[in-house]
Amino acid sequence: MAVKGRPYYGRGAARKTTSWTLVLSMLVMLSLLIVILLSLGILSIPSRKDSSKAHDLSHLAHNSLHSGGGDEESKDQWVEVISWEPRASVFHNFLSKEECEYLISIAQPHMEKSTVVDSDTGKSKDSRVRTSSGTFLARGRDKIIRNIEKKIADFTFLPVEHGEGLQVLHYEVGQKYEPHYDYFLDEFNTQNGGQRIATVLMYLSDVEEGGETVFPAAKGNISSVPWWNELSECGKGGLSVKPKMGDALLFWSMKPDATLDPSSLHGGCPVIKGNKWSSTKWIRVHEYKA
C-alpha cells in the first residue's frame, strides 16, 4: 500500500547526496588551487607559441643560462647558428669580462711563438703560416678554468675529459693564422684521444680592425651577414666572425656521420688595428689523457 505525505528516499539516497556534495566541493577546491598556481606562475598552460620555441636553441640557451645565476654582472646570452656547412654557432657573452681578463693574466708571462703541426712527421714546427704567440693552460688547472671547461662541455655536449688544455693566443698587428684544418692527417697526433671533432674558440678581447676568424670554404651567401661592411678584405674572403670579448665560436671538424668536414677550413685574419687575444679548446672524439 502506498504511503501518503513526503516521499521517503531511504538512507541509501541520503548517502548518495552526501558523496555528490563531497565530490563537487573537492572539484571546486581543485579548480581554486589550479587558479592560484596559474596566477603565481607555478603552473603554465602549454601554448602553440611555446611548443615552436622548443626547437629554438637560442631561446633554450638563453633561459637556462639566465636561471644559472652567478656573482658577476651577467650580460645577455644567446646562441646564434651561423652556418650549416661547416656546422658553426656563436655563443654570445659565453665568458664574463673577469674570466677573459683572468685567462690573459695567467697566460701572458708564458707566451711563446706559436707553432703548427707538420703533417708528415706529426711534430710541431715554426711556420710563417701562424705568426701569433701562445701558451697552453693545463686542463682543470684551477677553479675558474674548471668552470669554463664545464661550460664548454655543456655547450658542446662533449665531456670535459675529451678536451685538450686551453690554448691562449695573442695576435699583434699583422699577425695571423692562415686557413687550415683542426683535424689531423697524420697518425701520430690521433694516438691520444683520436681525431679532433670540434673546436671552441673564445674571444678574450675586442679587435678594432681585422682579426676575424674566417671560413673560406663555408657554403652559403657569405655577404648576407649583417656585419659584412665591418669586415677586412681577408674577412670578406669567406664566412667571418668578428672577435668580440666574451663570445665563443663553436665549429665542428667532423660531420654527424663521423667523416672529416673540409668545409671547416678556417683561419685567423691579420690584425689591422688593436690586439687580439683568444683561447682555443680542441675537443677529441675520445677521452684525451691530459
Catalog residues that contact ligand AKG under the rule CB under 6 A. 169, 177, 182, 201, 213, 266, 268, 278, 280
Q: What angle do CA 93, 57, 286 make, to 5 degrees?
A: 80
C-beta closer to ligand AKG: residue 65 or 249: 249
Which pairs from 122-131 meet CB under 8 Å and 24+ separation? Answer: 122/184, 122/186, 122/187, 122/188, 122/189, 123/188, 129/177, 129/178, 129/180, 130/176, 130/177, 130/178, 131/171, 131/174, 131/175, 131/176, 131/177
What grid cell was written down for 21?
556534495
C-beta closer to ligand AKG: residue 79 or 277: 277
What grid cell was written down for 186?
697524420
C-beta closer to ligand AKG: residue 193 or 268: 268
Could you tell me the smallest distance in angstroms from the CB atom of residue 90 to ligand AKG?
A: 12
What grid cell was written down for 283?
675537443
C-beta closer to ligand AKG: residue 137 or 201: 201
What grid cell was written down for 196?
679532433
Of the candidates 238, 250, 219, 235, the one whose C-alpha atom is nearest the C-alpha of residue 155 is 250
What is the distance between the alpha carbons of residues 88 and 194, in angstroms, rounded to a whole number?
A: 21
Could you tell me the smallest distance in angstroms from the CB atom of residue 68 to ligand AKG?
A: 27
Please list, in sequence order, all residues whose beta carbon lies within 8 angstroms of the beta carbon of residue 67, skipping any fewer than 6 positions away: none
Which residues is 87 bridged to in the sheet?
84
Could you tell me the smallest distance in angstroms from the CB atom of residue 71 to ligand AKG?
A: 29
Could you tell me the smallest distance in angstroms from the CB atom of residue 165 to ligand AKG?
A: 13
Could you tell me the smallest distance in angstroms from the CB atom of residue 64 to ligand AKG?
A: 27
Could you tell me the smallest distance in angstroms from the CB atom of residue 201 to ligand AKG?
A: 6
C-beta closer to ligand AKG: residue 86 or 268: 268
CB-based closest residue to ligand AKG: 268
C-beta closer to ligand AKG: residue 151 or 170: 170
What is the distance between the alpha carbons of residues 42 and 61, in angstroms, rounded to a whole number?
A: 21
